[in-house]
Every structure is written in C-alpha cells, then in structure tokens.
Amino acid sequence: MAPRLVFGAGGVGTTENSFTFTWDTPEKVADLLRELRALGITHLDSAASYPPNNPWNTETLLGQSGELQDSSSAFTVDTKVLVQRVNTNVAQGVPFLAPAAIASSLDKSLRLLNRESVHTFYAHANDGVTPFAEQAAAFDREVKAGRCAQYGLSNYSVTALRAFFAACEEHGYTKPAVYQGMYNALQRKAEEELLPLLRQHSCAFYAYSPLAGGFLTGKVTAARDSQDKDSRLARTRWQGASAYSIYTNTFDKPAMHATIRTLKAACDVVAEGGPALTLQEASLRWLLHHSAISSEHGDGIIFGAKTVDQVHSNVAEMRRGPLPESVRGVVEGMYYEATRKAESL
C-alpha cells in the first residue's frame, strides 16, 4: 500500500510578504477542513512556528475554526515545538528544546487547538545546545503524560539522529516514532543513510516538500525561461521577501532546470497518446507509488496547497496509481542526473 497522505497546515494563516495568505480567517479554515474531510484527508501537520515569520497564527486559526475539538473532530493533529528563528533560519545557540520550552510550547499548542492531546509532537529542528538526553527525557514525559501519543524529530542530521537514538537506548526513554524530512524526485539523499537508520529503529518517515516547494511543477523553470519571471514568481518561495534559501539554494540551478525540461518532454510524449500528464502529477505519483517510502514502514507524505482546487487536484493526481514506465524511468533518473551534472561543473 502507498504511504498515508497528510495535509501540511503551514499555508494556513498569513504573513506580510509571505506565500501564505489564502486561509486567513476561521471561516475559511473551517471550509478547508470540511473539504479535506470530504476527500478522506484527516491527518494535519501543524507547528507552533507556522506560518513563516508569524508563529502561532496557524494554530490560532485551526482552533478557531471549530473543527478540531477532541470530542467531535475527525482529524488527527500533529504539531511541533516553537523554533526560535532569525528570518527563515534557525537561531544559533538558543535552547528552544530545553525541557521547560518543550512543555511550554505544547501547553500553548493544545490551548490554541482546543485539544487535550496531539498525535505526534515534533522537535521542528535541533537547537544544537540542549543535550539529546534532556530532549528525549522531555518528550518521553509528554508521551507518558498522555499529551501526545508519540513524538518525532524533524530536520536533524543523520549524525545527530544516531546520537539521539543512542541517548534513548542508554537512558530507557521512548524513542521518536516518526522523522520528518525533505524527500522528492530531486532530493533523494535520505535514501543513502537516513532511511536505513530509521528502519533500524522502527521509526517512520514523513516526507515534506513532495514538489520541492513548487519546483517540480515546472513553474520556476518556465519563469526563468521567460521574460516575466518577476510577476510569475511573486509571493512564492522563489523570489523576493517570501523566498526560502533552502529551496533557492538547492533547486534553482542549471542542472535542476535541465531535468525539469527532460521530464516535461517525457510527459508531453505520454499526453500525445492519452490524457495529459503534468510534471506535478508525475512527481507526486512517483513519490507515492515508486519511491523508497511505503505504508509498510508507516511512512507518510505531507502535501500542501494554496487553494481548495489545488487540494483536490493534488489528491486526485496522487491517487491515480503508478506511472507509465517511460515516465517512471525519467523521474527515477532525475536526481542522479542533476547530481552528476552539478558535480561536473
């Protein structure tokens, strides 16, 4: 079976000059949640730090929607510890994973969400200061107190993750049940060391950025190839005040754009003999049906959207089944081709 689908709530709320601005009232959020429920998507991924540069706004609106109260809600909700940031970067030397900070963050999330507990409570990133044994002890306490069913980690290096598991084993603490990281057709580094380590510790993997922040839709390449890139990339992760360096530095490169053009050509050939196949659909179907993640390990895919129409199209595309072999082969080779070209420069 395919990995579970989880809706990423980072697009709920608004920030000045941000790409998040669609669902900015409780009423709009309630409508979104009802649409998700109708599609059978009832697992939400939230965070204290959402939306970018406006902490707590996402969870405030989710709670005010009236759709998440424990007694009546159909939704499973995950959240993450508040991260101290400087612009979009994690603040250095700030112990935001100290035990008191972990407990305080969950206190506020539960209050805003109108829930007594969440499903998975994540460390959004490693603070680089708090010892892993102290982090693990704090999360272990929250699990045993019933304020979260399990806990997880996100954006830890493989070295840090290995040390975290070792600290849990040494002290007898509950291990993280889920790890959240970037994984898509153009970012498959997780297959090298991360996924084998997670499998060793029976830890599920939830992939975020299945479309590489929109790069795998082809819109960034098309904009770069046109004379209209300023307006076409306005209020996205790719340009201006809303740009995210993790995306621009990783994907906005000649070798990456070349693979997008190759995939588009393959999709166009398929479309000549049948229904249209977009780059987005090819990328999503590869991730769901052909990648290294699966339901066997409890894995999931966290997807987002800017509009309800995008929610519907994303879900429909992922549920269409495996790719034609000709396109699958192209998608399989994209990461390696882009890496090879980048290394040859």
Active site residues: 50
CA–CA separation, 139 vs 120, rounded Å?
10
Nearest to 8 by CA among 258, 253, 341, 306: 306
Element (H, E) at 220: helix 219-225
> Residue 181 forms beta bridges with which residues?
207
Helices (H) and strands (E) in the chain, counts: 13, 10
Strand pairing of 43-45 and 85-86? unpaired
**Residue 146 Ramachandran class (φ > 0 left, ψ -120 to 50 alpha, else beta):** left
Match 């989880």 to its residue by tokens. Answer: 6
Tell me whether residue 103 is exposed, middle or buried, using C-beta atoms within 10 angstroms of its C-beta: 0 to 12, 13 to 18, 19 or more.
Answer: middle
8 A C-beta contact, residue 155 and residue 149: no
Q: b/e for 122-140, b at 16 or more Cβ within 10 A?
A: bbbbbbeebebbbbbbbbb
Q: How much is the CA Rg of the chain, to the nearest whole Å?
A: 20
3-state secondary structure of 227: coil
Structure tokens at 300: 């999931």
Distance of CA 316 to the CA centre of its chain: 19
Q: b/e for 269-281, b at 16 or more Cβ within 10 A?
A: ebeeeeeebbbbb
3-state secondary structure of 171: helix
DSSP state of 85: E
CA–CA separation, 77 vs 81, rounded Å?
14
